[in-house]
Structure 1
């Protein structure tokens, strides 16, 4: 799909099938998953080749930041901003003195916001460079909002992790065989949640890195077409991206801290299980020893003909089992 925008808003254009050229006052050409016909029409108008999705997805810096005969060819991975389908997809910019072409493959709130700002005259889009600045500024704002949302999510996740025992199922009795299963499931969910946030932050980091490189490269290569007021906007963008990068680094450190805390909880649960097994094995040793001694069939055993020998043996087995339990309870193991 193709949409055209001038300095004052949307520009009407003829269908691709008609073969008509694009209007001259179309300053910004936005291509959303363009067809071959749409790409060819834009190429005829601007004289620049529209890169394919595969070309925009290349990871080499020489492929993402290029100066060609007619202008700049820029690309970066960009998050989809959809938390239900949080992925990276390529975003391309083709910048010439007369046109800005954006090539994308998913709907983006930033693009819609820039369109609205241009139509409402809430932003200067009088040149291709200034239109480019509007798009990048809106992308940076969206990434900032996304990081703020993630920061709130991590605060909630931190509360869930460190209040894990306080949030246990009310009324669960000691020894209830469903409690360990519930705790195991809760810990699995916490671990998956920490992992999802870590993956999301890695994708945001890739987007910020790409925008930072694009901004610096464009400023250095477009000095001759920058007008008064453009260069300070590039500097402000660079500062914003740097501050967001620092904020993302702190969030990544928080994710690592929460991961360590979650793994610590899992280790505690495992230690509790091993402790129970250790107590059970120790408690079972003295009764087994007593039973083994009095189970020997020697002829001259003092208690063999004793009337109270059998009750004595049973009592000794019970006492030898209860004594370790009382000891472990006193030491706080139970």
Structure 2
């Protein structure tokens, strides 16, 4: 079975598990009142072809969690590592794709209002001046979808600056930066990921992936090759990581990033890297159809892990299909 077929099989199995856990009213079993289980659902279900289920879930989100452009009304899941703007960005994109413009347009406007006026980037914590690259990447993708192109480019320039001006890239990559103090180089490890130490095991890699995604999007929007140069630099960071970077549960976004880069460049190296991570995602899927980040994980985490991998596999499959078609055309 080739990987494209494996992706289809894995997605079908995952969507079957997800559909079995969605109540008739759109509630998610075990995550009824926690937005953490829902926030990637509208996007993943929609691109997975489950439009009716996606719409039911979207209506629950509106009734229980949405208010004034934000999706953080109700109970908050204590295990959530990233800030509210991260979840709001996924939801804004998903709602826009579904046609729930009452939520997506308000969501996009809210994201713009919460970013730094000077740089356009997202704050690590509201009320502070430290900017977070991972949150910014996520927010900028939502702004692109909702038509805030200039704001998205502005925030992305900060991400590119952080990528290009790393103080010690052979040792570590730092993804938080302050306009007053520069790079944040100390971590209490309560929010892992925004420091990635080169060559060390157990690092969290999703920030690297989201940078690749944003570089591909910005190149597609502007045709400026500086974004591809930024992507090459990030790819160098990836390759300097411990070899587990291609097998980690936090590396799905790297696969997504490489897939999108292949789609805008036709570079076969990006397709190869996306394929490597896509194969790992398929191989570690549970027989039930869900994905685990760790044994005994609570229901909101099962939904989050499974929704996002349906999305990643869709992007990876698209890139591999493009690569396959290009290879056939060259024969």
TM-score > 0.5 by shorter chain? no
- What TM-score do you get using the length of structure 1 for normalisation? 0.28
- What TM-score do you get using the length of structure 2 for normalisation? 0.28
Q: Which has the larger radius of gyration?
A: 1
Higher relative contact order (CA 8 A, sep 6+): 2
Going by fraction, where is strand more abundant, 1 or 2?
1
